[in-house]
Amino acid sequence: MGLNADKDLGDVVAGRVSMNHAVTPFKDGGFDIIVGQSGTGRLADMSRSRLSELKSDLWQLAQRYDRVIIDLGAGLESAVRSLTPKGGMTLVVATDEPTSLTDAYIKVSIQENARADMRLAINMAGDHRKGEKTYGALAKACRTFLNYTPPLMGIIRRDDRIPDAIRRQTAFLSRHPQADAAEDLAEMAATIRKQPAKSAAKSPNAGTSDNTSKKA
């Protein structure tokens, strides 16, 4: 997005700054963000107690915002499991790649809270039909082996203009608002707003994020 953040999550992990001082406003988007640049790989090496402290700090910061989004990568290391919120909505994003489908299935299967609001989104789909096919395969596996089918939140089509926005360090929706993927993202955002996630409990497990936003 072309942000030049003075501090990032790596500085927080290293103990150089507090969570509050790592916040960077993104005025064009109307939200604040804590960027995850260099150094955030150290999350995987953090102790359980330090991860708990980090999660608590994120929760305290989150009280300033209307909505909070956590953007976690693939994999099931302790940091990903620990920082996954126990309340609110969990949106699992998958593609049609076998490794992505496996990762998504495992993330659904290890959800400890049976009442969690977990949903699926299919990314980089060739078209909506192919995206529905990918979702169908994942939903069938969940239904067969977990007796649970996470609902589909949306399908985002593959769009060659996304790499262009990345190269230019510009927000995709600002640079290509008429693109297919932009249309899909807008539709999914509207769906989320119409079907709000379950309320999160007032605890450090309720809503933590390395991307904090004032607006949805």
Q: How far apart are CA 10 and CA 71, in angstroms?
A: 15
Residue-by-residue DSSP string for the chain: -----SS-HHHHHTTSS-SGGG-EEETTTTEEE----TTGGGGGG--HHHHHHHHHHHHHHHTT-SEEE----SS--HHHHHHS-SSSEEEEEE-SSHHHHHHHHHHHHT---TT-EEEEEEEEESSHHHHHHHHHHHHHHHHHHHS--PPEEEEEE--THHHHHHHTT--HHHH-TTSHHHHHHHHHHHHHHHSPPPPPPSSTTS---SEEES--
For strand 31-33 and strand 211-213, is the pairing parallel, antiparallel, or unpaired?
Answer: unpaired
pLDDT for res 129: 97
pLDDT for res 115: 61
Nearest residue to 10 (alpha-carbon basis) of 44, 47, 36:
36
Output the tens digit of pLDDT for each of the chain's 216 residues.
667 788 888 888 888 898 889 998 888 788 899 887 654 556 667 777 888 888 888 888 888 888 888 887 776 666 676 777 666 788 999 999 999 999 999 888 877 555 678 899 999 999 999 999 999 999 999 999 989 899 999 999 999 999 988 888 888 888 899 999 999 999 998 888 776 544 444 444 433 333 334 433
CATH assignment of 89-198?
3.40.50.300
Residue ranges covered by each domain of the chain: 1-71+203-216, 89-198
Q: How far apart are CA 26 and CA 33, in angstroms?
A: 7
Structure tokens belonging to residue 188: 């999914």
